[in-house]
């Protein structure tokens, strides 16, 4: 009898410990978990090529997207979206695309020739008298009608070389966003100043632009007889219109580069893909976004140098036109498409969201 009574007491005591211990701790953990979840203001990101963003927005699969022109203006013009912001509003005069060359490409004569063709194209685009032709070229390059490209061009500034201080802001954004797994020191540079002194190579640009400033008809020696070039660019990216203009205006041909013969152009979906092509030695020179160029140069130690600029600004965040999203705060819990992590567009969105206390997370 005593044994049965003792056993009953022990069972009651054990049950009490289990109940109060487990239920008490679990409640506390649940409360803490709920509190942490409440404090997290998340925006979900999905990685999508810009051409697909338009259909996804229209179908309601995403709440918005950030891309380069002309995709933003296309969605707005179709009535499927509206601008929440342009990149000019988030970061005025930010550098976007650049012309970069692989360190393994040692043909300086060809690099000078391509830089000359590029600068001639940028100056052609910026001359007011060429406006109608620029619209024609922009439409042909992107496959969009002139009304769309006209609106798109209003958001883009074509430049010959990026500002160093603005470029260093990309570096700071990548550091703040915890996207860098390496430091400039781990890839052999004393500090960021030393890194950018090497990364932003101005000597070829200064020589070519200086000669053109003195004589608009000046032309470099051109490529060597047996030289060839693989040139990368992004699909329908209006930021990189200079490539199309240089070809159509015959600038490449004037320095001995003939498409289909010694000049091969390769198209990519985003800047990160371009950098991977540099890494694999599939391209020699390319148009690429400043953010992925910096990111992959440091993280993967892909040796490239920027020899010219292409454009500033020209991106934007477009959201559904149903009126539900009016401010950045309204993006909490929503899904936004980006071209890829580490792209210029991702960097801009990350900057804008964090300033509002929102945290982007990849789906």
Between 25 and 74, where is the model more confident? 74
Between 38 and 82, where is the model more confident? 82
| Percent over 90 (pLDDT), the chain | 82
Between 281 and 11, where is the model more confident? 281
The 8-class DSSP code of residue 70 comes to: T
Segment 67-82 shows an average pLDDT of 97
Segment 117-139 shows an average pLDDT of 98
Tokens of 119: 């600068």
Segment 282-304 shows an average pLDDT of 96
CA dist., res. 160 & res. 181, Å (int): 31
Segment 301-327 shows an average pLDDT of 96
Q: Which of 139, 150, 135 lies closest to 77, judged by CA?
A: 150
Segment 241-257 shows an average pLDDT of 98
Q: What confidence score (pLDDT) does residue 38 get?
A: 52
Q: pLDDT tens digits for 30-73?
A: 444 444 445 789 999 999 999 999 999 999 999 999 999 999 99
CA dist., res. 316 & res. 47, Å (int): 16
204 close to 112: Cβ distance less than 8 angstroms: yes
Q: What confidence score (pLDDT) does residue 109 get?
A: 96
Strands (E), the chain: 42-47, 64-68, 81-86, 97-102, 156-158, 229-234, 263-268, 285-289, 304-309, 311-313, 315-320, 335-338, 359-362
Per-chain mean pLDDT for the chain: 90
305 bridge partner residues: 101
Q: Which of 292, 288, 274, 286 lies closest to 239, judged by CA?
A: 288
Q: What confidence score (pLDDT) does residue 222 get?
A: 87
| Cβ-proximal residues to 73 (8 Å cutoff; 6+ apart), any chain | 144, 148, 149, 151, 152, 155
The 8-class DSSP code of residue 181 comes to: S
345 close to 290: Cβ distance less than 8 angstroms: no
Q: What confidence score (pLDDT) does residue 147 get?
A: 96
Q: pLDDT tens digits for 151-208?
A: 999 999 999 999 999 988 889 988 988 899 999 999 999 999 999 999 999 999 999 9
Segment 353-361 shows an average pLDDT of 94
Q: What confidence score (pLDDT) does residue 225 get?
A: 84
Q: What confidence score (pLDDT) does residue 39 get?
A: 72
Between 18 and 43, where is the model more confident? 43
Q: Which of 229, 222, 233, 232 lies closest to 263, judged by CA?
A: 229
């Amino acid at each position: 009898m005593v044994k049965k009574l003792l056993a009953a007491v022990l069972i009651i005591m054990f049950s009490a410990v289990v109940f109060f211990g487990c239920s008490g701790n679990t409640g506390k953990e649940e409360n803490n978990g709920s509190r942490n979840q409440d404090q997290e203001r998340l925006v979900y990101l999905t990685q999508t090529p810009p051409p697909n963003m338009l259909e996804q927005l229209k179908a309601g699969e995403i709440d918005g997207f950030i891309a380069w022109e002309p995709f933003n203006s296309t969605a707005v013009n179709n009535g499927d979206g509206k601008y929440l912001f342009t990149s000019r509003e988030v970061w005025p005069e930010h550098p976007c695309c650049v012309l970069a060359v692989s360190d393994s490409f040692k043909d300086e004569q060809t690099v000078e020739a391509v830089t000359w063709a590029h600068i001639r194209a940028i100056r052609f685009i910026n001359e007011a008298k060429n406006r109608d032709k620029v619209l024609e070229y922009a439409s042909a390059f992107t496959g969009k009608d002139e009304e769309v490209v006209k609106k798109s061009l209003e958001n883009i500034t074509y430049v010959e070389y990026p500002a160093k201080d603005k470029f260093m802001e990309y570096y700071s954004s990548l550091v703040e966003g915890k996207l860098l797994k390496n430091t400039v020191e781990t890839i052999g540079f004393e500090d960021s100043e030393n890194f950018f002194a090497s990364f932003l190579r101005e000597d070829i640009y200064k020589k070519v632009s200086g000669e053109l400033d003195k004589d608009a008809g000046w032309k470099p020696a051109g490529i060597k007889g047996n030289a060839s070039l693989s040139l990368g660019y992004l699909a329908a990216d209006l930021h990189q219109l200079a490539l199309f203009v240089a070809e159509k205006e015959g600038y490449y041909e004037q320095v001995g580069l003939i498409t289909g013969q010694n000049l091969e152009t390769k198209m990519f979906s985003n800047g990160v893909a371009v950098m991977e092509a540099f890494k694999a030695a599939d391209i020699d020179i390319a148009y690429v976004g400043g953010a992925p160029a910096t990111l992959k140069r440091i993280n993967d130690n892909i040796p490239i140098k920027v020899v010219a600029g292409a454009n500033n600004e020209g991106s934007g965040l477009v959201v559904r036109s149903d009126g539900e999203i009016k401010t950045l705060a309204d993006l909490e819990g929503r899904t936004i498409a980006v071209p890829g992590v580490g792209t210029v567009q991702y960097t801009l969105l990350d900057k804008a969201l964090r300033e509002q206390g929102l945290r982007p997370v990849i789906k």
